[in-house]
Amino acid sequence: MSYELVAGLETHIELSTKTKIFCQCTTEFGGEPNTHCCPICMGMPGTLPKLNKRVVEYAVKAGLATNCKIRNVSKMDRKNYVYPDLSKAYQISQFDKPICYEGYIKLSSGKNININRIHIEEDAGKLVHERGDTYIDYNRGGVPLIEIVTEPDLRSIEEVVEYIEKLRLIMKYIGVSDVKMQEGSLRCDVNISVRKKGEEKLGTRTEIKNMNSLNFIAKAMEYEFDRHVDILESGGKIEQETRRYDSDLNITESMRGKEDADDYRYFRDPDLVNIDVSEEEINRYRDSLPQLPDKKSDVFINEHGLPKDDAELLIKYKKIAEYFEEASKDIKNKKLVSNYILSQVFRRLPTDAEKEECSISIPPQYLNELISLTESKKITSSMASSALEQMLDSGKPVREFISEKDMQGIDEDALREICIRAVNENQEAVESYLGGKEKAFKSIIGYIMKETKGKADPIKSAEIVKEIIRGS
Q: What is the pLDDT of residues 12-64, one digit of tens each?
A: 999 999 999 999 999 998 889 999 999 999 999 999 999 999 999 999 999 99
- Per-residue pLDDT, averaged over 447-457, amounts to 78
pLDDT digits (tens, 9 = 90+) for 127-139: 888 888 999 999 9
Sign of CA dihedral 116, 122, 124, 126: positive
For residue 405, the model assigns a pLDDT of 64
Return all residues near 295 (Cβ < 8 A) that are at least 6 apart: none
Between strands 112-122 and 144-150, the pairing is antiparallel
Residue 390 confidence (pLDDT) = 96
Ordered alpha helix ranges (H), 182-277: 214-233
Determine the pLDDT at residue 309: 96
| pLDDT, position 178 | 93
Measured CA to CA, the distance from residue 376 to residue 325 in angstroms comes to 20
Q: Which residues pair with 122 in a beta bridge?
A: 144
Choose the weakest-confidence range: 178-187, 316-325, 412-421.
412-421
Give Rg (Cα) of the chain. 30
Which residue type is seen at 413?
Answer: D
Q: Between 318-327 and 293-302, two packed helices, what is the crossing angle to 10 degrees?
A: 30
pLDDT tens digits, 255-296: 877 666 667 899 999 999 999 999 999 999 999 999 999 999
Q: What share of the chain is helix, strand, coil (3-state, %, to 5)?
A: 45, 20, 35
- Quick one: pLDDT at residue 174? 97
Q: What is the pLDDT of residue 183?
A: 86
Q: In the predicted model, is pLDDT for residue 410 greater than 80? A: no
* Helix H or strand E segment including 267: strand 267-268
- Inform me whether the pLDDT recorded for 408 exceeds 80: no
Helix 438-451 and helix 458-471: axis angle, to 10°? Answer: 120
pLDDT for 433 equals: 83
**Fold of the domain built from segment(s) 412-471:** Arc Repressor Mutant, subunit A (1.10.10)
Nearest to 410 by CA among 469, 465, 458, 369: 458
What are the sequence ranges of the domains in the chain?
Answer: 3-284, 291-406, 412-471
* pLDDT for residue 376: 85
pLDDT-derived band at 161 (thresholds 50, 70, 90) equals very high
Strands 77-80 and 267-268: antiparallel
What does the pLDDT read at residue 258? 63
Q: What is the rounded distance in angstroms from the CA atom of residue 471 to the CA atom of residue 467?
A: 6
Q: How many CA atoms lie less than 13 Å away from 70 in the CB half-sphere? A: 24
**DSSP string spanning 201-223?**
S----EEEEEE--HHHHHHHHHH
Q: How many alpha carbons lie under 13 Å from residue 361 in its C-beta half-sphere?
A: 17
Determine the pLDDT at residue 259: 61
Residue 443: what are its φ and ψ, rounded to 5°? -70, -30
Mean pLDDT to the nearest integer, 310-331 = 96
Within 10 angstroms of residue 449's Cβ, the number of other Cβ atoms is 19
3-state secondary structure of 254: strand
Averaged confidence pLDDT in the chain? 92
Please tell me the pTM assigned to this model: 0.84
Q: What are phi and psi of 58, to 5 degrees?
A: -65, -40
